[in-house]
Chain A
Amino acid sequence: DSGVTQTPKHLITATGQRVTLRCSPRSGDLSVYWYQQSLDQGLQFLIQYYNGEERAKGNILERFSAQQFPDLHSELNLSSLELGDSALYFCASSVATGGGSNAGELFFGEGSRLTVL
């Protein structure tokens, strides 16, 4: 158990719909990261938050948005869903996000598997 909790574990929805994925980081971790894992694209970085503020952005579509709340949990909102959005969405957390010995050591949740039909 990594200490990172993601809900829901599985989600099936239709094209055009909107879903919200939730992540609770490890206790004490200030950084939250979202990754998308699909068979053809591998593990793609979407977005990173640190203590409520967006810190880095990757290949995140405009239809997707995220936020980190004061209690440090994070939500990833996916709207106008398309078939190609079907993937495993991972949340990860870390203590810090800069340099240093702990930087970059991410702890991953078990993922939310999204299926768009």
Chain B
Amino acid sequence: AQSVSQHNHHVILSEAASLELGCNYSYGGTVNLFWYVQYPGQHLQLLLKYFSGDPLVKGIKGFEAEFIKSKFSFNLRKPSVQWSDTAEYFCAVKRNTGFQKLVFGTGTRLLVSP
């Protein structure tokens, strides 16, 4: 079964710092990859997704992620974070065949100090 690893459980940054959150998955076949964000007290929202094509995916709010197949990675990046980016970020993977569940990583809590 596929699994997802997020190496950073807690990240603290100052505003304007650059962000990179790591995500690795364990499935060798074709996958769909996602980053979701959960702001404090809110539900999960989709930040961006990768299905095929350009491995550099741009999402909402200035976020982007790069799919590196050889490394089984899908790291999330933002050049300059804002206080409002304080949230929990979840990487997720789904096999691209039939009825497959979406498997989430354990999440990374990001705290951006003003």
Interface residues of A (CB under 8 A from B): 2, 4, 33, 35, 42-43, 45, 48, 50, 55-56, 58, 90, 92, 97-101, 103-111
**Min distance, Cβ A107 to any Cβ of chain B, angstroms:** 8
Report B-chain residues with C-beta under 8 Å of the C-beta of A104.
32, 34, 49, 92, 94, 102
Q: Does B19 contact A (CB under 8 A)?
A: no
Interface residues of B (CB under 8 A from A): 32, 34, 36, 42-46, 49, 51, 90, 92, 94, 96-107
**Min distance, Cβ B11 to any Cβ of chain A, angstroms:** 16
Chain B residue with the shortest CB-CB distance to A111: B43
28 pairs across A/B with beta carbons < 8 Å? A4-B43, A33-B101, A42-B105, A43-B90, A43-B104, A43-B107, A45-B103, A45-B104, A48-B101, A56-B99, A56-B101, A58-B101, A90-B43, A90-B44, A97-B99, A97-B100, A98-B97, A99-B96, A100-B51, A101-B51, A103-B51, A103-B94, A103-B96, A104-B34, A104-B92, A105-B46, A106-B44, A108-B43
Q: Are B96 and A45 neighbours in the complex by a CB distance under 8 Å? A: no
